[in-house]
Amino acid sequence: MAQDLVRPARALLSVSDKSGLVELGRALSSRGVELVSTGGTAKALAEAGLTVVEVADYTGSPEMLDGRVKTLHPKVHGGLLGRRDLAAHQAQMDLHRIPPIDIVVSNLYPFEETVAAGKPFDDCIENIDIGGPAMIRSAAKNHDSVAVLTATAQYAALIAELDEHKGATTLAFRRRLAGEAYARTAAYDAAIAGWMAGQRGETFPERLVVAGRRVEVLRYGENPHQQAAFYATGERRPGVATARQVQGKELSYNNLNDTDAAYELVAEFDRPAVVIVKHANPCGVAVADTLAEAYRRAFAADPVSA
């Protein structure tokens, strides 16, 4: 049976994005949590004056193959997957000297960013993380006992959780993190699958995997009684998904639909152009030498709708 409160004794940290890492390390260390870490993460923690155990020392096996194999070891995954409520699991862990790991912090190699930057094929391949997703999935599966963090934005929530529960995490908190962890690895694999399909020149791959990040919860859907949210993929092309709202209240589905229609239409022109849209239909379109004149012309096309 799952235990609600778990007081962590050991955390494994292995991150590419080191934002907030030292602060998190200090917060965990000050609460008596042993820090185990890899490569550059361990170096950053040690340089900040924190006591950290290198994963190679922890497992007794060196990092190898240019860092491709670091945490793929029974002492890591046994510590993550071993059930604390099963005597048989505990006996096997004791036999093989596998201590439990209570927290995993991993935010994965920057594969999406590498692709977005237009890096060469080999660079993209090397930025496909293997050990990170494996650890994340192991920790998330055993969320009855293990908390898994996959984004720097979660660090503050973990610290607040430990403060609120006297150095422990709750099952509800760990379960929420586990769901977010599987969503992250799913999106990561979707990005890899999509990129590989593109590399093969497949417009319509047999399995199409799409992952989106929620940009905002909308005021309502297509109709006022409906709920809706706006999700964006990792593409950085100019458009509504990458735009920043400057002012005004929360948007609805129709607001976004109209904005997208106007933006995509005005993008067809290479002169100053204005498009006025009502209910996703252009009611005024004009080009001119200046935007002011283009606006006057577009407005004149249907001033009532505008």
**Does the annotation mark 141 as catalytic?**
yes
Task: State the Cα angle at 81 between 34 and 83, rounded to 5°.
Answer: 95
Residue 12: closest CA among 181, 188, 146, 157: 146
The pair of structure tokens assigned to 24 is 């998190």
The residue behind tokens 């999106």 is 187
Which residues, in sequence order, are bridge partners of residue 6? 169
**Choosing from 18, 89, 141, 165, which is the catalytic residue?**
141
Query: Do residues 185 and 133 touch, judged by C-beta distance below 8 A?
Result: yes
Active site residues: 141, 279
